[in-house]
């Protein structure tokens, strides 16, 4: 087996609190990477090393670590579970070759479980499942499997059968080999291991004709062939193999690690990557270098870029090029990450995940790195638009510059954040994916510059558009000079098409004429104006402005631009009278999961908020509510739902575009 075949790049994904971090900690311990077992509950988890994570007991940044198990190298990425950090999950998934989906053995499939499962499917990442918390007496292995089958629309195949006693899980049977592991005495098999094996053989027969033949003739199928066929099935996304245990008590973790080695693909099994220009790179050291920056980790006040190599080899001192950068960059040092610690590496190849510093460290996630002379750009991850803003205000004018510099550093490292200067209020406006995202951004800023600024209340980022196409003409005169401009405001057929565009119409002077030059610079000045809206101060979207005609009277050599801009302004304002301008606000698709007995207060509350409820679904003692709502109505919902459901409810929100705001005439 080649070195690349022995690499497994995998992520751990789950609903919040399912036990991702605890499981990662146990993997570190079991593989000998750390000598003590970190505990999320005591803030000692090595993977949640950022202060904002230890305080909340949740993971926020995708952390990365390298483990050795048997003769394999496992690059493990612990991803954040909260939807506000969905972009981070998304970017992480695309560079991974496989994922472990952790389920809570008591709660089964939760709202965010489904969300990350769909993300994994979208990126064609093969998945193994780990049913966790089976040490709890109320855990129910069979019900978790049922909920997976009902909600994940995939063949769900147990790879182990747990032994369960009154104290929860006591041991395991490996279904493929029949090997039994027992940690404490007692416990009964949760299912018949022979039936479980027959199910695996039947599933494997789909992808392996020789197994089909053995199956038909009721011949024994050996473990080696069975594993290989199941691995192909997992890689094709046709099945999810399920493991079981308790991360907290370190049961079933070694068996899961064996499963990762046996069933998840190596970088060689992944398809070759292709660039936007059709370039293809196979996972070989002999191909030109191609790597993708998917994250960053703090390094004192600086950042290190975290990248996955797809092809070629990398050594310190090498020259690289980066997409959107003209000059080559030198690799000063390369590190393998172990959460907070790191280890310098002398050579890396396909499948490796590395942190790179120096000039490369400041490159934003989404950057492709390539060998000079062999350009390739991998498609950047599509990120949802940030929708929630806060105003950042320095307490003293003297702190302003420091604050601005720190904000820009933060935004560079996290493409899901945006910053702009609001000229009217003369403040910095930071926009992000949600309340938690902005809260954490605020904490990071405080860690960098101290408590020298105030954060305003979150407000929803709005947009402006028009509901009808309209025309308008305007004139502006000063002695001896005159400009007349006519504009057309057009609605575009597809909402969500993006910021307003301005273009010169066919009627504006022929090519090469002086008027055309004038129209072109008028366009760019109007474009700037539309980014702060027609009337409201919010950017104009989903419309087109055409300069229909442009007449000027003046002596040659006079700068007419200010005159034209004034005339265009009058024309725009006149057109707006007929165009029915509207404010748009972001909406979200919402899924709430709560205990059955909390359904009626939850529904009542949602109706009170004006949520458009599209479905209520009862599933045992769990109820699911789906609907859409303006984001502004959902601020603070996490706290509200917690109190309505005694902490048992969970919800997920995802952006559902923009729609006219209530009373949104402007």
Beta carbon of residue 178, minimum distance to ligand GDP (angstroms, whole number): 25
371 binds, among ligand GDP, Mg ion, none (CB under 5 to 8 A by kind): none
Tokens of 273: 């990557």
Query: Of residues 9, 22, 79, 113, which one binds ligand GDP by CB under 6 A?
Result: 22
Tokens of 73: 């190298």
- The DSSP H or E segment spanning 528 is helix 514-530
Q: Which is nearer to Mg ion, 20 or 484 (CB)?
A: 20
Region from 16-24, 111-119, 289-297, 506-514 binding ligand GDP, contact rule CB under 6 A: 16-24
Q: Does 132 interact with Mg ion (rule: CB under 5 A)?
A: no
Select from 495, 499, 520 the least CA-distant residue to 658.
495
346: Cα within 13 Å, side-chain hemisphere: 0
CA angle 339, 342, 346 (to 5 degrees): 140
Q: Does 56 interact with ligand GDP (rule: CB under 6 A)?
A: no
CA distance 316 to 133: 43
Number of residues near ligand GDP (by CB under 6 A): 21
Query: Of residues 21, 65, 170, 549, which one binds ligand GDP by CB under 6 A?
Result: 21
Hey, which bits of 208-279 come out as E strands? 239-244, 273-274
Q: Which is nearer to ligand GDP, 133 or 227 (CB)?
A: 133
Beta carbon of residue 406, minimum distance to ligand GDP (angstroms, whole number): 28
Query: Of residues 7, 10, 13, 14, which one binds ligand GDP by CB under 6 A?
Result: 14
Q: Which is nearer to ligand GDP, 17 or 381 (CB)?
A: 17
Tokens of 336: 């393998």
Under 8 Å between Cβ of 311 and 290: yes
Select from 3, 2, 589, 48 the least CA-distant residue to 345.
3
Beta carbon of residue 58, minimum distance to ligand GDP (angstroms, whole number): 5
Region from 56-64, 122-130, 596-604, 606-614 binding ligand GDP, contact rule CB under 6 A: 56-64
Q: Which is nearer to ligand GDP, 114 or 399 (CB)?
A: 114
Beta carbon of residue 34, minimum distance to Mg ion (angstroms, whole number): 16
Hey, which bits of 79-234 come out as E strands? 98-104, 127-132, 155-158, 160-165, 168-174, 180-182, 188-189
Q: Does 18 interact with ligand GDP (rule: CB under 6 A)?
A: yes
Under 8 Å between Cβ of 10 and 76: yes
Q: Which is nearer to ligand GDP, 247 or 563 (CB)?
A: 247
Q: Which is nearer to ligand GDP, 13 or 603 (CB)?
A: 13
Interface positions, 11-30, toward Mg ion (CB under 5 A)? 20-21
CA distance 47 to 202: 39
Beta carbon of residue 634, minimum distance to Mg ion (angstroms, whole number): 24
CA distance 149 to 140: 15
Q: Does 61 interact with ligand GDP (rule: CB under 6 A)?
A: no
Q: Which is nearer to ligand GDP, 58 or 270 (CB)?
A: 58
Select from 87, 136, 396 the least CA-distant residue to 246.
136
Q: Does 94 interact with Mg ion (rule: CB under 5 A)?
A: no
Q: Does 431 interact with ligand GDP (rule: CB under 6 A)?
A: no
Interface positions, 506-525, toward ligand GDP (CB under 6 A)? none
Hey, which bits of 178-318 come out as E strands? 180-182, 188-189, 239-244, 273-274, 280-281, 290-299, 302-311
Interaxial angle between packed helices 561-579 and 514-530, expressed in degrees from 0 to 180 and rounded to the nearest 10: 60
Assign 265 to helix, strand or coil.
coil
Instruction: Output phi, psi for 617, to 5 deg.
Output: -135, 125
Mask: binding to Mg ion, 251-280, rule CB under 5 A, as x and -?
------------------------------
248 binds, among Mg ion, ligand GDP, none (CB under 5 to 8 A by kind): ligand GDP
Interface positions, 575-604, toward Mg ion (CB under 5 A)? none
Q: Are strands 127-132 and 98-104 parallel, antiparallel or unpaired?
A: parallel
CA distances to 368, 469, 587 from 581, rounded to whole Å, are: 41, 10, 19
Select from 651, 656, 666 the least CA-distant residue to 598.
651
Q: Which is nearer to ligand GDP, 100 or 552 (CB)?
A: 100
CA distance 489 to 257: 60
Interface positions, 208-267, toward ligand GDP (CB under 6 A)? 246-248
Instruction: Output phi, psi for 281, to 5 deg.
Output: -125, 120
19 binds, among ligand GDP, Mg ion, none (CB under 5 to 8 A by kind): ligand GDP
Q: Which is nearer to ligand GDP, 6 or 82 (CB)?
A: 82
Beta carbon of residue 143, minimum distance to Mg ion (angstroms, whole number): 24
Interface positions, 27-46, toward ligand GDP (CB under 6 A)? 40-41
Helix and strand tally (H, E) in the chain?
15, 35
Q: Does 131 interact with ligand GDP (rule: CB under 6 A)?
A: no
CA distances to 254, 439, 458, 461, 581 from 442, rounded to whole Å, are: 39, 5, 12, 18, 34
50 binds, among Mg ion, ligand GDP, none (CB under 5 to 8 A by kind): none
Q: H-type helices in 427-497, by residue range?
A: 435-449
Beta carbon of residue 117, minimum distance to Mg ion (angstroms, whole number): 17
Query: Of residues 6, 20, 624, 652, which one binds ligand GDP by CB under 6 A?
Result: 20
Q: Does 65 interact with Mg ion (rule: CB under 5 A)?
A: no
Q: Which is nearer to Mg ion, 119 or 549 (CB)?
A: 119
Beta carbon of residue 434, minimum distance to ligand GDP (angstroms, whole number): 17
Interface positions, 71-130, toward ligand GDP (CB under 6 A)? 81
Residues that bind Mg ion (CB under 5 A): 20-21, 59
Provide the binding-site residues for ligand GDP, judged by CB under 6 A.
Answer: 14, 16-22, 40-41, 57-59, 81, 132-133, 135-136, 246-248
């Amino acid at each position: 087996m080649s070195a690349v075949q022995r690499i497994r790049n995998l992520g751990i994904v789950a609903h919040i609190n399912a036990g991702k971090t605890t499981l990662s900690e146990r993997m570190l311990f079991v593989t000998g990477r750390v000598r003590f077992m970190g505990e999320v509950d005591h803030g000692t988890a090595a993977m949640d090393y950022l202060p904002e994570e230890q305080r909340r007991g949740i993971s926020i940044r995708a952390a990365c670590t390298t483990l050795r198990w048997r003769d394999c190298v496992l690059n493990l990425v612990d991803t954040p579970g909260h939807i506000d950090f969905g972009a981070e999950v998304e970017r992480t998934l695309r560079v991974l070759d496989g994922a472990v989906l952790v389920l809570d053995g008591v709660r089964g499939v939760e709202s965010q479980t489904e969300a990350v499962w769909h993300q994994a499917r979208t990126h064609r990442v093969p998945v193994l499942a780990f049913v966790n918390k089976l040490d709890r007496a109320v855990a129910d292995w069979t019900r978790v499997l049922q909920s997976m089958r009902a909600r994940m629309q995939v063949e769900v195949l147990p790879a182990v059968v747990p032994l369960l006693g009154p104290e929860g899980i006591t041991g395991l049977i490996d279904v493929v080999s029949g090997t039994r592991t027992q940690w404490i005495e007692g416990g009964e098999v949760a299912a018949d291991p022979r039936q479980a094996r027959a199910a695996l053989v039947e599933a494997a027969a789909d992808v392996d004709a020789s197994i089909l033949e053995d199956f038909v003739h009721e011949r024994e199928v050996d473990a080696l062939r069975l594993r290989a066929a199941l691995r192909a099935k997992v890689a094709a996304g046709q099945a999810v193999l399920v493991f079981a245990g308790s991360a907290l008590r370190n049961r079933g973790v070694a068996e899961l690690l064996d499963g990762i080695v046996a069933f998840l693909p190596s970088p060689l099994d992944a398809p070759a990557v292709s660039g936007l220009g059709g370039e293809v790179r196979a996972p070989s050291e002999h191909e030109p270098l191609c790597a993708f920056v998917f994250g960053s980790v703090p390094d004192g006040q600086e950042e290190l870029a975290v990248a996955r190599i797809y092809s070629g080899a990398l050594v310190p001192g090498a020259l690289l090029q980066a997409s959107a950068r003209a000059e080559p960059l030198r690799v000063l040092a390369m590190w393998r990450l172990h959460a907070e610690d790191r280890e310098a590496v002398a050579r890396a190849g396909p499948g490796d995940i590395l942190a790179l510093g120096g000039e490369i460290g400041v490159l934003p996630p989404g950057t492709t790195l390539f060998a000079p002379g062999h350009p390739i750009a991998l498609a950047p991850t599509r990120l949802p638009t940030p929708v929630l803003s806060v105003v950042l205000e320095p307490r003293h004018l003297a702190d302003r510059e420091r604050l601005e510099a720190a904000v820009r550093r933060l935004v560079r490292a996290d493409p899901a954040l945006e910053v702009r200067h609001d000229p009217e209020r003369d403040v910095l406006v930071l926009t992000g994916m949600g309340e938690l995202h902005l809260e954490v951004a605020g904490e990071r800023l405080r860690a960098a510059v101290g408590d020298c600024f105030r954060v305003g209340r979150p407000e929803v980022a709005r947009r402006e558009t028009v509901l009808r196409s309209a025309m308008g003409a305007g004139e502006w005169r000063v002695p001896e000079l005159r400009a007349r401009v006519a504009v057309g405001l057009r609605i575009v057929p597809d909402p969500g098409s993006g910021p307003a565009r301005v273009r010169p119409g066919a009627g504006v002077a022929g090519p090469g004429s002086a008027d055309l030059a004038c129209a072109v610079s008028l366009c760019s000045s109007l474009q700037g104006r539309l980014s702060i809206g027609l009337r409201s101060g919010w950017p104009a979207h989903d419309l087109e402005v055409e300069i229909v005609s442009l007449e000027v009277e003046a002596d040659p050599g006079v700068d007419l631009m200010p005159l034209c801009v004034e005339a265009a302004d009058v024309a725009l304002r006149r057109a707006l009278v007929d165009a029915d301008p509207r404010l748009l606000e972001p909406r979200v698709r919402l899924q709430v999961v709560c205990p059955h007995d909390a359904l009626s207060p939850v529904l009542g509350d949602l109706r009170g908020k004006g949520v458009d409820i599209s479905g209520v679904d009862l599933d045992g003692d769990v109820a699911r509510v789906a609907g859409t709502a303006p984001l502004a109505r959902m601020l603070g919902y996490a706290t509200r739902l917690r109190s309505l459901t005694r902490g048992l409810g969970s919800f997920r929100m995802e952006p559902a575009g923009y729609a006219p705001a209530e009373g949104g005439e402007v």
